[in-house]
A = this chain, B = another copy of it.
Amino acid sequence: MTDKRKTPLETEEITAEMCSADVRLQALGQVPFFSMLKSAELQEINKLFKEQGFEPNETVYFEGDPADHLYVVAAGKVKLMRHTRSGKDVLLDLLEPGEYFGSLSPLPDETYTETAQARTTVCSLRIGKETFRSILANRPGIALRVLEITAGRLQAAHERVRQLSAFPVEHRIAFTLLTLAEKFGQPQKGRLLIQTPLSRDDLAEMTGTTTESASRTISQLQKAGLIETGRQWVAITDRERLEAILEEE
């Protein structure tokens, strides 16, 4: 019995029981800053997290809400974004299992500076920011890992500022596709599929352009044979020529 759908994306099979005890432990063990912990320690820390599930498109928190939790993605994909008055949203990041989001700062009276939204069915684990801070205060090794990850995100954000400041749409789209492929890429039929739902709209929000411009650029790249694409998906077929676009000035 063949699937009639044309999308090459694997549907994310996540059920209601996704937040079961062992899945939780596995998810936490995947978190870069917990991965060095011994099993016993991990179990201790596991107890401090509460699980919370979300349906696709459900919002974890809104920009401006009081910020008092830190979240870890256990299963599914989470989108971080900022809004604008005109309704044009900006997509800041797409998170995989093992990545954190939410509030790191222990200061009171803070609010989230971005909106977090489930893009698939999601299981998240969350912890109060004070509790998390005390974990960091007691285990410098973890604090240093968290710092490294945050510093890495800062570099990525700076690179994005550079892209937006200095390069035309085609260049930015190419860059974004290559970056996404590094994170979500899955070899398939001699091409590199970006294994996450990805609309022209998403791409536009990631590159600071409009849906129409993203669509035109994507079509053009497909005609040139650099990528294959369809509704909600993109696969890279000629990585080298795509990278060559980044070399143009």
Contacts and interface: CB of A to CB of B under 8 A. Distances in A.
Interface stretch (A24-32, A145-153, A184-192, A227-235): A145-153
A157 interface: yes
Interface string A140-171: 11011011101111110111111011110000
B141 A140 contact: no
Given A133-B144, A137-B141, A166 B104 contact: no
Of A133, A138, A208, the most chain B CB neighbours within 10 A belong to: A208
B164 A164 contact: yes
Contacts of A88: 165-166
Contact of A166 (B136, B157, B208): B208
B249 A164 contact: no
Interface stretch (A37-45, A78-86, A117-125): A78-86
A150 B158 CA distance: 13
A104 B148 contact: yes
A113 B155 contact: yes
A140 B207 CA distance: 38
A150 B90 CA distance: 21
A105 interface: yes
A166 B133 CA distance: 34
Contacts of A18: none
A88 B207 CA distance: 19
Nearest to A83: B162
A38 B153 CA distance: 32
A92 interface: yes
B92 A161 contact: yes
A84 B249 contact: yes
Contacts of A147: 104, 136, 143, 146-147, 150
A148 B137 CA distance: 13
B105 A158 contact: no
A161 B165 contact: no
Given A113-B155, A150-B147, A249-B84, A161 B90 contact: yes
Given A88-B165, A143-B143, 8 more contacts: A85-B247, A90-B161, A105-B148, A106-B148, A114-B158, A136-B147, A137-B141, A164-B208
Closest 4 CB pairs of A and B: A165-B208, A157-B157, A164-B164, A86-B249
